[in-house]
Each structure stands twice: as structure tokens, then as C-alpha cells.
Structure 1
Amino acid sequence: MSTIKDVAAAANVSVATVSRVLNNNGYVNEDTRKRVVQAISKLNYIPNEVARSLFSKQSKTIALIVPDIKNPFFPEVARAIEDLMSSQEYTLILCNSDEKIEKEIMYLNAMKQKYVDGIIIVTSTLTPKHIEKSDIPIVALDRTISMDIPSVSVDNFEGGRQAVQYLKSIGCKKIAHIRGPHTIINADERFKGYIDEVKNESWFSDDLVVNGNHQVLETTKVTKELLMKHSDIDGIFAGNDYMAVGVLKAAEQLGIRIPEDLSVIGFDGIQLCQLTSPELTTMAQPIYELGYRAAELLLEMIEGKPISKLHYQFQVKLMNGQSTKVLGVTNDEK
């Protein structure tokens, strides 16, 4: 494999001159530039990107750190980010943190050593101090970190309220909630939205809330236990679509008909909702728009442009599927 020294020798110039041609940085007369370009073509020389990043302290690379790549929400967000960044000739590195602060800090340190130009991160554990130490442009996605760190998210509290309001509107009389981990900000906000709607209902009790921990198999287990304990539950708000799939599985295993006996609504709007049987009703986030806006924001920071707005909060929208009863239609009419 040819080196930059081989190119310099073939073009009869210094290594520094070849470097200036490669980086389009500094004056090189046209005849010399042509000789260097011809030597690069003849030797099939490919610049060492690591060496170039060490020289320029830039790598045209960004990182995306997510909690769980198995959750379909995150690959859909990643696609939007990659679409924009690749159009700007950036490479995307995907990191899976498992919601562990040790892994998030490890990735931050590793990305700094690799001269990554910026990071988009989904975290509920890092503090502003961790971000300040990284000294890299960072955008928080899906969850905010602090008022000083740019973020892109949705109104999870209002989305949770609207999910329960919809279940009430179609006639559900006893509504349970499958929540996400207590350590995750948006899981807490969706739970609070649920509580705000049911706290004054005569049927409400604390044991109508169980934790699915954003895991589909765990959700199936705890939902079966919940439905066997409360056979009169006729509505469930799952904290995300991934857990809603677990609710559908639990109902199937118990012989509970959806939506005739039990209406189920999720949260996120991932494409998987359209592939389940029945198709899931969900509070849909503008997933692609979230990822794209986070990428735009990060690019502005990398390029040193003034940030006119630090925090973007989008609204969710009801996406009607087949897992909830039809408004105004009784079971006997179905």
C-alpha cells in the first residue's frame, strides 16, 4: 500500500506539499498540484483518515449513543440522523449503552480520543458535568440533560394524558399502565400523564401500574400477572410500543380478545405498529423529524454557527390502529 512519502517521492515534492494538496490548505502552484494529483492517481494512494484527523483535530465522524438498539425506535431515529450526516460526508458511529453510565462515559472518552466531531446521545444518567468534561459538541435526543445542553424531544407528559383520555373516550372503565424504568425521564413523564388522568377515578389503585422495563418479554410476564389479578381491566396504556407488543402477547396467551375485551394503546409510532396483529394504536412521535433536527442542530454546533434555539419539543399524535375499540361502537355491534 502506497504512503504519503511514496507520493511525495513520485511527485518530487515534500510530504508537507502533498499534505497541503490533500487538505486543500495553503498555497501550492498549479504545476506542482497537478504532479501531486497524478502521483496520487498512479500510486492509487488512499489518505490515512486517522492521520488526517490527528493533524486537523477533525474526523468528519459523529457518534450516536443509544440505550438499547433492540428497541425499534432507535434504529428509526438513527436512519434520519444518518441520512443528513451522510449527505454532508460524515460517518456515523453507533454505540449501545444499555442505560449504564459506565458505558456512556467510556464511549464519551473513546470518541474524544478518536477526534469525533460531535455526539448525539440518549441518556438518563449523564449530568452536565460529564458533558462539560467531554469538550465535544453534544445534542441530547429523546431526553433532556439540562437547560444548557441542546435537546430534541417530545411532550411525554401530554402524550401520556392524551393516551388515557382516548381510552376513556372509547368507553374504557378501568385503565392500567405498563410503565418504563424509574430511572428514565420520559418514562416518568408518561407515567405522570397517566396519573394525572386517573388519580381521581374511583377505580384507580396503585397496583394498576406495573413496570415492563422497556422489555417485551418482561412486559408479557407482568401483564399476564396484572390481568389475572384485575380481570375487569379493559384498557392498557403501554409506555412504549415495544412494551405494547408484550401486552398483545400476554392477552393472546390468556385468551383475552383485543380490542373486544381489552383496548391497548402504545407510545412512539414505530413501524412495527403496522405489522402486529392487530395493528397497534399508538401516540406517534415524529421519529424521523426528531432525528433529523438533532442532526441539524449538531451540525450547526460543529460548524460554529450561532444556535438560535436550544430546545425543541414536538407534539405526539394519535395513530389509530386495530388494538382499540372504535369510538361509538359497542362490543355487540362489532
Structure 2
Amino acid sequence: MASIKDVAQRAGVSVATVSRVLNDKGYVGHNTREKVEQAISSLNYKPNEVARSLFKKQSSTVGLIVPSIMNPFFTELARAVEDTASKLGYNVILCNSDGNSEKEQGYLDVLQQNYVNGIIISSNTLTAEQVESLNIPIVSIDREISSGLPTIVVENKRGAAVATRFLQKKGCKRIAHIRGTVGVVNAEERFEGYKEVVSSEPWYQESYIVNGNYDMQTSIQATLALLERHPEIDGIFAANDIMAIGAIKVAHQLGLKIPEQLSIVGFDGIALTNVMTPELTTIVQPIYELGEKATTMLVGLMRQQPVEETYYRLDVELVEKNST
């Protein structure tokens, strides 16, 4: 592998001159620049990005911190971020935080040490003070951290209300809710949307609500307990798709027919819902657009370009499939 010294020797210049060309810093004559660029090309020289980052105290890299890459929602979101970043000339470092505050802070430290240009983060543990202390552009996605931070989210409460009303229109008389992680902003908003629709119903009771913690296995256990305690339940709104898939598994285990005896609606619109049986009715988020907008906004902030908006609340839509 060619080194910077090889390039300098081939071009007949000093290593310092090659460095100025690579980093586009300092004056280099036109003819000399051409010689260096020809030497770089002929030797197929690849600059050491780590060394360049240390020199420039920045890199062509952005960080992406998500709670769980095991959740297909975040897998699809990460793909959108990577696609968009690549088009704009940036690489992406993906960090899986498990929603753990210490792990998130550790990743933030590592990303800063590697001189990333900016970070996209989905977090429910970071404070506004922590974010402000980073002194680099940050965009919050899927979950709002503070009102002053650039943020992209969706209409969580409205989407949940739409899902619950849809179950009512389908004839469901006892509608339960598998909620997301307590304290997570979007889980609370979806919970509020469900309650807005059913809290005044004479059959409504708190025991119709169980915590699936945004996790399939937890959802399976919670749904099993729910349906054994309340066999009269004929509709379930789950706060994300993987919990809804867990609920469908339990229905099969209990011998319940879907949708004849139990209708189920999820939230997210992940690709997996289209290939399962039955296909899942769900509130579809514009997942790719979320990642695309977040990355475009972040790059604009990093380049100190005018950014028209720094807060987006994107709409959602219900797509009916065979689970209702």
C-alpha cells in the first residue's frame, strides 16, 4: 500500500506539500497540485482517515445512536440514514444503546473522540444539558429530547387514536392496549391516543392496558396474561409492530381466530408486516422519510447552511391488512 512519502517522491515534492493538497490547506501552485494529484492517482493512494481526522479535528462521519437494532423499525431507519449520508459524502457509525443512559454517554464520548461531524440520536435518557455540552450538531429522531433541539417525530397520539377508532368501527367492543416502554415519549403519546378514544366507554378499565416494553418477547408474555385475565377482549392496539406480532402469536397459541375473534392493529409499518400471516393492519410511519430528513437536516447544520425548519412532526396513515 502506497504511503504519503511514496506520493511525495513520485511527485517530486515534500510530504508537507502533499499534506496541503490532501487537506486543501495552504497555498499550492497549480502545476504542483496537478503533479501531486497525478501521483495520488497513479499510486492509488488512500489517505489514512484516522490521521486526517486527528489533524483536522473533524471527519467525514456522522454518528447514529438507536435504542435497539433488533427492532426492524430502527434497522429500516438506519438504512435511510446511511443511504442519505452516503449520497451527501458521509459515512455512518451505528451505535446500539439498549436505551441505557451509561451506554449512550459512552457512545457520545467515543463519537466525539473520533471527531464525528454530527450525531442523529433516538434517546429517552439524554437531557438537554447533555446534548448542549457536546458542541456539535445533534438531531433527535423518533423521540423529542428538548424543545430547542432539532427534532423529527411523527403524529403518535393522532395515529393511536385513529387505530383505536378503527377497531371500534370494525365492531370491537372491548379494546386493549399493549403499551410501549413507560417514560418513553412516543409510547406515552400513543397511550394517550388510545385513552382519548376509550376512557369514557363504560367497559374501560386499567387492566386492559399491559406493558410490552416495545419488545416482542415481553409482549407475548403480557398478551398471554391479558387474554387469560380478560377473555372478552376482541381488539388490541399495540404501540409498535413487533409487539403486535407477539400478540398474534399468542392468539394462535390460544386458538383465537384473527380477525373473527380478535382484531389487532400495530404501529410503525415495518416491512415484516407484509410477509407474515395474517398480514398486519398498522399505523404506517414514513420511516425512510424520517431518516432522510434527519440526515439532510444534520448535514445542513454541520455545513452551517440555512435550515428552513428544525422541527418536523410527520403524518401517519392506517393501512388495513388481514389482522382486522
Shift of residue 155, structure 1, vs aligned partner: 1.3
Shift of residue 12, structure 1, vs aligned partner: 2.8
| Separation of aligned partners in 1, 2:41 and 2:162 | 61
| Separation of aligned partners in 2, 1:41 and 1:49 | 17
Q: Counterpart in 2 of 1:267?
A: 267
Instruction: Work out whether 1:291 is the aligned partner of 2:285.
Output: no
Shift of residue 227, structure 1, vs aligned partner: 0.7
Shift of residue 212, structure 1, vs aligned partner: 0.8
| Separation of aligned partners in 2, 1:123 and 1:58 | 24
| Separation of aligned partners in 1, 2:116 and 2:100 | 21
Shift of residue 42, structure 1, vs aligned partner: 4.3
CA contact (8 A) 1:268 1:285 kept: yes
Shift of residue 307, structure 1, vs aligned partner: 2.7
Q: How many residues align?
A: 324
User: Where does structure 2 lack aligned partners over 5 or more consecutive residues?
Assistant: none
Instruction: Work out whether 1:138 is the aligned partner of 2:138.
Output: yes
Instruction: Work out whether 1:20 is the aligned partner of 2:20.
Output: yes
Return 9-18 or 109-118, whichever deviates more. 9-18
Write out aligned runs for 1:149-298 (5 A): 149-298=149-298
| Separation of aligned partners in 2, 1:41 and 1:307 | 37
Secondary structure in 2 matching 1:266: strand
Shift of residue 170, structure 1, vs aligned partner: 1.1
Q: Deviations over 1:35-57 (max 9, x none)?
A: 32333344442211111112222
Q: Counterpart in 1 of 2:120?
A: 120
| Corresponding letter in the other structure for 2:199 | K
Q: Deviations over 1:101-139 (max 9, x none)?
A: 101111111111101011100001100111011111100
Q: Counterpart in 1 of 2:103?
A: 103
Q: Deviations over 1:211-242 (max 9, x none)?
A: 11111112111111111111110000001001
| Corresponding letter in the other structure for 2:4 | I
Q: Deviations over 1:158-212 (max 9, x none)?
A: 1111111111111100000000110211011101111111111111111000011
Paired-residue identity, %: 53
| Separation of aligned partners in 2, 1:26 and 1:158 | 55
- The two structures, once aligned, show a CA RMSD in angstroms of 1.3
Q: Counterpart in 2 of 1:310?
A: 310
| Separation of aligned partners in 2, 1:218 and 1:145 | 26
Q: Counterpart in 2 of 1:92?
A: 92
Shift of residue 264, structure 1, vs aligned partner: 0.2
Shift of residue 322, structure 1, vs aligned partner: 0.4
CA contact (8 A) 1:109 1:134 kept: no
Structure 1 stretches of at least 4 aligned residues deviating more than 3 Å after TM superposition: 41-44
| Separation of aligned partners in 2, 1:34 and 1:309 | 41
| Corresponding letter in the other structure for 1:207 | S
| Separation of aligned partners in 2, 1:225 and 1:254 | 11
| Separation of aligned partners in 2, 1:270 and 1:31 | 54
Write out aligned runs for 1:1-12 (5 A): 1-12=1-12
Q: Counterpart in 1 of 2:36?
A: 36
| Corresponding letter in the other structure for 2:147 | M
| Corresponding letter in the other structure for 2:142 | D
| Separation of aligned partners in 2, 1:193 and 1:38 | 62
TM-score normalised per structure 2: 0.97
Q: Deviations over 1:227-273 (max 9, x none)?
A: 11111100000010010000000000000000000000000111111
| Separation of aligned partners in 1, 2:150 and 2:20 | 35
| Separation of aligned partners in 2, 1:19 and 1:84 | 29
CA contact (8 A) 1:124 1:143 kept: yes
Secondary structure in 1 matching 2:133: helix
Shift of residue 34, structure 1, vs aligned partner: 3.0
Q: Deviations over 1:33-91 (max 9, x none)?
A: 23323333444422111111122222111111000001000111111111111011210
Secondary structure in 2 matching 1:79: helix
Secondary structure in 2 matching 1:120: strand
| Corresponding letter in the other structure for 1:316 | V
